């Protein structure tokens, strides 16, 4: 109810703004029709700002600046807000209509009319109250005009041919629980696991995985602490999609080095063998492993204590699922054979979503606290085998190849039974979407309303306002840093890692650091 009221207030505010803008334009147009010459810019007279509306807002907010002697030629008027150049939409003698630029932090409004010696600049007495907002940015990577940039480890910054590039296959992201500056990415079609080092601003490929028989690496996760056997995130767990029969490698466990890193010197062991595993994940509370098979949509459960006991006792670990149905317990099949899906467990461990990628929807499975296992899932949002795009509730919503998702705590839900929203990348709809606990699906970022008008495409490379400007293309991976409140998104066709974060005012120190990196 609280969110509904906020939305209603926002809608009413937007309509009030639209009506005010239309009214002002109509009045000024009528005056200009009566006396066109009087509306022209006169360089012998001062340019003045008398007022502006609204008084506050964020990037891409529509702004009306009132005053005198602005002229009628929009190309002859320049507006800066907070030192950033604004896009001027329309100009009449007594007003300027523009968009607030991104990063206009100081809010100082400056209007310049004319050019050269005839240019006159004036500044408003009061500043626009610029409010920071979440925006889309590009962290690293690039795509050139020929799309032949290839793969290159290296710095985030610098010219083409020096800075890092790649990110060209469907990827999955994972933030190292021990170091939030380390973001790992694996690919379905590129064998190395790469490390995105946010502190050093450097991309590397520490794990070439030469002992793994395929380049179809489908997921990365980390273990929970198991008393007496393993510390928190001591092991990385990866899944692979491989099929040479029902003894094919499916899940590997990789021990962290003594210095805290993962690389080609790390101990890599085969944990489970069946075939065609699309993903593996860990229960956030009890620590058991869940993984699947594309074959018949099976979901398996392994208590990692069984593995660690065997290793501690120097026993040989048999990873073959078919040989140990008591250890590798098959819980259920989600439905028909050949369903590509991944499992996303709620931070409380009380339920999980199953993202059925090639059939375009999510199922939900609740957790049996007594048996410590998930029960048979049911359809939650989206429609079986009906790709499309529509924000709605439950099965009335449509999606198109939903990929990786994350749960994010919503402060507005404090005290409620479920305090988390679920965000996921909708691959073929080129956007990031959100699902509330009640199953309300909405578009969070992408498919820029304004930028799409330029070329008619919902996809693109634009950074900026979440819905007004930002666009993605074939987004496959998503991770969230809850400490710094930053989303990381793998934009496959753009060959980039994108971000969603709060706008940051760049300081002189930041600028000098960027220059030294270049």
Indicate the domain borders of the chain: 48-130, 134-502
**How much of the chain, in percent, has pLDDT values that exceed 70?**
90
Per-residue model confidence (pLDDT) at position 70: 97
End-to-end CA distance of the chain: 50
Please tell me if the domain spanning 48-130 has the same topology as the one spanning 134-502: no
Contact 297, 336 (CB under 8 A): yes
Q: What is the pLDDT of residues 260-288, one digit of tens each?
A: 999 999 999 999 999 999 999 999 999 99
pLDDT above 90: residue 191: yes
CA distance 69 to 114: 11
pLDDT band with cut points at 50, 70 and 90 for residue 9: very low
The topology (CATH level 3) of 134-502 is: Neuraminidase (2.120.10)
Per-residue model confidence (pLDDT) at position 60: 85
pTM, to two decimals: 0.86
**How much of the chain, in percent, has pLDDT values that exceed 90?**
87
CA distance 249 to 245: 10
Q: What is the pLDDT of residues 425-473, one digit of tens each?
A: 999 999 999 999 999 999 999 999 989 988 999 999 999 999 999 999 9
CA distance 14 to 24: 15
Q: What is the pLDDT of residues 295-327, one digit of tens each?
A: 999 999 999 999 999 999 999 999 999 999 999
Contact 341, 357 (CB under 8 A): yes
Point out the least confidently predicted range of 24-28, 68-72, 300-304.
24-28
Per-residue model confidence (pLDDT) at position 29: 46
Does the domain at residues 48-130 carry the CATH identifier 3.10.20.30? no
pLDDT above 70: residue 206: yes
Q: Point out which residues pair with 185 in neighbouring strands.
A: 173, 194
Instruction: Note every long-range contact of 312-317, with CB atoms under 8 Å and residues 24 or more positions apart, other chains counting.
Output: 312/229, 317/269, 317/271
User: Could you give phi then psi for residue 116, rounded to 5 degrees?
Assistant: 60, -135
pLDDT above 50: residue 504: yes
């Amino acid at each position: 109810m609280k969110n509904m009221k906020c939305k209603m207030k926002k809608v009413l505010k937007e309509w009030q703004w639209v009506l005010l803008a239309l009214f002002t334009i109509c009045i000024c147009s009528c005056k200009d029709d009566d006396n066109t010459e009087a509306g022209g810019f006169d360089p012998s007279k001062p340019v003045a700002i008398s007022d502006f509306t609204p008084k506050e807002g964020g990037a891409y907010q529509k702004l009306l600046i009132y005053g005198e002697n602005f002229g009628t030629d929009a190309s002859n008027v320049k507006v800066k807000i907070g030192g950033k150049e604004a896009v001027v939409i329309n100009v009449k003698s007594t007003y300027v209509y523009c968009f607030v630029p991104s990063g206009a932090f100081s809010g100082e409004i400056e209007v310049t009319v004319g050019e050269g010696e005839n240019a006159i600049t004036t500044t408003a007495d009061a500043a626009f109250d610029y409010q920071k907002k979440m925006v889309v940015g590009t962290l690293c990577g690039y795509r050139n005009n020929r799309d032949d940039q290839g793969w290159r480890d290296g710095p985030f910054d610098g010219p083409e041919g020096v800075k890092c590039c790649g990110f060209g296959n469907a990827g999955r992201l994972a933030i190292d629980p021990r170091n939030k500056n380390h973001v790992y990415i694996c690919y379905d079609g590129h064998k190395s696991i790469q490390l995105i080092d946010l502190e050093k601003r450097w991309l590397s490929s520490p794990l070439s995985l030469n002992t793994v028989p395929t380049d179809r690496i489908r997921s990365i996760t980390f273990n929970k602490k198991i008393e007496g056997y393993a510390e928190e995130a001591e092991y990385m767990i990866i899944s692979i999609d491989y099929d040479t029969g029902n003894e094919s490698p499916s899940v590997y466990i990789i021990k962290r080095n003594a210095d805290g890193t993962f690389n080609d010197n790390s101990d890599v062991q085969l944990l489970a063998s069946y075939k065609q595993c699309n993903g593996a994940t860990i229960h956030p509370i009890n620590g058991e492993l869940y993984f699947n098979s594309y074959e018949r949509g099976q979901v398996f459960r392994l208590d990692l204590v069984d593995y660690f006991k065997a290793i501690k006792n120097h026993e040989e670990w048999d990873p073959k699922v078919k040989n140990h149905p008591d250890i590798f317990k098959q819980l259920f099949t989600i439905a028909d054979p050949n369903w590509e899906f991944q499992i996303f467990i709620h931070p409380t461990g009380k339920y999980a979503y199953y993202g059925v990628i090639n059939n375009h929807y999510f199922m939900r499975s609740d957790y049996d606290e007594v048996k410590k296992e998930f029960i048979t899932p049911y359809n939650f949002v989206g429609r079986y085998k009906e790709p499309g795009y529509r924000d709605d509730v439950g099965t009335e919503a449509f999606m198109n190849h939903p990929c990786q998702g994350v749960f994010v705590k919503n402060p507005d839900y404090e005290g409620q039974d479920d305090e988390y929203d679920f965000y996921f990348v909708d691959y073929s709809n080129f956007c990031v979407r959100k699902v509330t606990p009640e199953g309300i699906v909405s578009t969070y970022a992408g498919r820029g309303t304004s930028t799409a008008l330029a070329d008619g495409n919902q996809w693109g490379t634009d950074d900026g306002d979440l819905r007004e400007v930002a666009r993605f293309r074939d987004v496959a991976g998503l991770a969230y840093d809850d400490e710094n409140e930053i989303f990381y998104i793998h934009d496959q066709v753009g060959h980039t890692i994108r971000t969603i974060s709060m706008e940051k005012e760049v300081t002189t120190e930041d600028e000098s650091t960027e220059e030294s990196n270049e």
